[in-house]
Chain A
Amino acid sequence: MLRLQNRIIDWALVGGTLAFILFLYVPILTLVLFSFADSRVLTFPIEGMTLHWYAQLFQNPNFYNALKSSLILALITMILSTILGTGSALAWMRLNFPFKRALQALSFLPILFPQLLLGVMMLLWFSVLRNFIAVPMGMITLVIGHVIYATPFVLVVVSVQVHGFDAAIEDAARDAGASEWQVLTRITLPILRPAIVAGMILAFLLSWGNFYLSYSLNGSSQTLPIFIFSGIAVGSSPIYPAIATLNFLAALVLVVIAEKMRRKATRRLAGTES
């Protein structure tokens, strides 16, 4: 009786988890399906399959511009967040300085805070700032917002690996006469590389898919999520499912690489501990 009860609970847990995964992929699969639909209206069942919408997508100049802005923004955000996040992660673990706890709490705020409110407050700030220095709303404000949002994520990912890092290796290099710069570039950064690469990919994806901050900070430039949002607000068109499908494919590749790197980092961590 008790064993039967346990069995039922086990199956309910497994079934529930599978149902949840399915739930997560419902909109994603729906979009992929509709991207091949041979019909202007997005209704089911689908009458035929076509690649027409992909062709049309690449003839759309607004899509190209949005794609370009998103790519530039995500790349700049990725580079800056990785540098700032890695630097902060090293400092948090190795150095003591005044207001350290306060700075740590502040650094996490962008992750924990509703992005829309963050964006609106930054928008107000830039608008008032304009009376003193000209900060044009656009790529610059987007980069500032995205870097503030993505850096804490990089910080967390890299911190995990810095935590398991044996500082004695660095000391050994110093004792052998290596300069600080050599220690950093030949010892510290190479050991941290898997975590740094995983953090980079995360930063790229967070910036790439960001809607809430961009919505307030974009000025007149359109990123891909803004382009899609303004498009679907007017009326649905099959080009949006096509964008979605391409987006999923690219993200899939990046997530797989990031996960490989993260696991490599965990293995290294286990290696240094033993």
Chain B
Amino acid sequence: MSTPGNNRRHWELWISVLPFALLLVLFLIGPMVLTPLLTFQETKLYQLRWTWSFDTWSTVLSNPTYSAVLLRTVWTALLSTIVCVVVAYPVAYALNTRLAAWSNQVQILIIFAFLTDAVLKTFGWVLFLDVHGVGNWLLQKLGFGPGATNILFTPKAAMLGIVYNLAPYPIFTIYLSLARIDPDLKHAAYDAGASKLRTFLQITLPLSLPGAIAGALLVFVLSLGTFLESKVLGGGTKPLASELIRQTFETRVNWPLGAALTFSLVLVALAALLGLVMIGSRLRIGAAGRETS
């Protein structure tokens, strides 16, 4: 640290870090504390009443519809996670090896697509996947029968949308962990006579695993809250938890129920994030070890 002077430090601290910290406490911690509390209340005549009871939780736990939706949401999140990582790994690997010279350009292309309005992109998929859309037209030209990709408004289309929107996350985490691997390790393996495949399996893959797991957890958590994909592409026959949550607020005005469903998902998300933090600290220890050795 530079020149001391306790007064200056205090002044700097108040100005620089406190406004955002205050905002986080007021509008992030506050809502996260309130939500579980609300699950023990009830609504009468569209008004919230502060009466402490377990009624909402017993409804959520006893009604099979809710557990089915929650399970389906977690299952969809798991599947999307696997697909995302399987899709992302080769791309991240290529960006670190064969396409390293083009890495910047490819990354801009990915970031641009990624930052573009999600509602619009999802609508673009509707137009593409439509029976009379571009996709089917192309398939027909290639000799497939009419209506070859009839997946619009099915859970498959929703899944496609989720993978589309979330795959960039693991690409970046895997790319970063691959970039941190000391190239000398690979060269040493080659010098010792290991094949490319063996070097990959025994050196590169294990060392990039933290990035892959971090990306996977990120996709898992974020896909728990997806709504657009299942609503716009999935056709709404098999709603995910987020649709149900919105519905309990909009049409049924049942705050405690909505809060309980939200909180259930939040618990799953927080558990996954805790895993992410643990991997993060392991990564940091690993990196520190590498620097000292």
Residues of B within 8 Å of A41, CB to CB, are: 132
Contact: B27 with A125, CB < 8 Å?
Answer: yes
Say yes or no: is A38 at the interface (Cβ < 8 Å to chain B).
no
Contact: A121 with B127, CB < 8 Å?
Answer: no
B288 CB to nearest A CB, Å: 16
Q: What is the predominant secondary structure among interface residues of chain A facing chain B?
A: helix
Within 8 A of A (CB), among B191-242: 195-197, 218, 221-228, 231-232, 242
Say yes or no: is B45 at the interface (Cβ < 8 Å to chain A).
no
Contact: B227 with A116, CB < 8 Å?
Answer: yes
Contact: A84 with B269, CB < 8 Å?
Answer: no
> Could you write out 5 A-B pairs with CB less than 8 Å apart?
A24-B113, A27-B121, A122-B31, A206-B115, A236-B123
Say yes or no: is A105 at the interface (Cβ < 8 Å to chain B).
yes
Contact: B27 with A148, CB < 8 Å?
Answer: yes
Say yes or no: is B34 at the interface (Cβ < 8 Å to chain A).
yes
Contact: A211 with B134, CB < 8 Å?
Answer: no
A94 nearest in chain B by CB position = B1
Say yes or no: is B13 at the interface (Cβ < 8 Å to chain A).
yes
Residues of B within 8 Å of A202, CB to CB, are: 115
B69 CB to nearest A CB, Å: 14
- Report how far A236 CA is from B123 CA in the complex, Å: 9
* Segment of B2-10, B52-60, B177-185 in the binding face: B2-10
- The verdict on A248 contacting B34 (CB below 8 Å), with A21-B109, A114-B221 known, is no
Say yes or no: is A269 at the interface (Cβ < 8 Å to chain B).
no
Interface residue total, chain B, C-beta cutoff 8 A: 94
- Best-buried of A30, A127, A144, A247 by chain B (most CB within 10 Å): A30
- The verdict on A124 contacting B38 (CB below 8 Å), with A88-B20, A244-B124 known, is yes
Say yes or no: is A134 at the interface (Cβ < 8 Å to chain B).
no
- Chain B contacts to A: CB under 8 angstroms: 1-3, 8-9, 12-13, 15-17, 19-21, 23-24, 27-32, 34-35, 38, 48, 87, 90-91, 93-95, 97-99, 104, 106, 108-128, 130, 132-134, 136-137, 164, 167-168, 195-197, 218, 221-228, 231-232, 242, 245-246, 249, 255, 258-259, 262, 265-266, 269, 273, 276-277
Residues of A within 8 Å of B259, CB to CB, are: 124
* Segment of A9-17, A47-55, A56-64 in the binding face: A9-17
- Report how far A3 CA is from B133 CA in the complex, Å: 42
A180 CB to nearest B CB, Å: 7
- The verdict on A229 contacting B119 (CB below 8 Å), with A120-B245, A124-B259, A148-B24 known, is yes
Contact: B34 with A107, CB < 8 Å?
Answer: no
- Report how far A23 CA is from B231 CA in the complex, Å: 21
Residues of B within 8 Å of A125, CB to CB, are: 27, 30-31, 34
